[in-house]
Amino acid sequence: MERALIVSANTEVSELAEQLLRIEGCGRIAVAVSGSEARRLVKNDAEPELVIINTPLSDEFGQELAEMIADITSAGIILICSGDVSDEIADRLSDSGINVLARPVTRELLQRTIRLVIAARVRMAGVRESSDILSRIEEMRTINRAKTTLMKYLKFTEPQAHKYIEKQAMNNRQTRLEVAVRILAQYE
Q: What is the pTM of this model?
A: 0.69
Enumerate the CATH 3.40.50.2300 domain ranges in the chain, comma separated. 3-105
Question: For position 129, what pLDDT does the model report?
Answer: 65
DSSP 62: S
Superfamily of the domain at 3-105: Response regulator (3.40.50.2300)
* 30: enclosing H helix or E strand: strand 28-32
Nearest CA among 166, 163, 161 for reference residue 145: 161
Helix or strand run (H / E) with residue 98: strand 98-103
For residues 96-116, give the mean pLDDT.
93
Percent of the chain with pLDDT strictly greater than 90: 79
pLDDT tens, position by position, 75-95: 999 999 999 999 999 999 988
pLDDT (0 to 100) of residue 5? 96
Q: What is the average per-residue pLDDT within 57-64?
A: 94
* Average pLDDT, rounded, for the chain: 91
Q: In CATH, what is the architecture of 132-187?
A: Orthogonal Bundle (1.10)
The pLDDT, as a whole number, for residue 67 is 95
What length is written for the chain? 188
Which residues belong to CATH 1.10.10.10 in the chain?
132-187
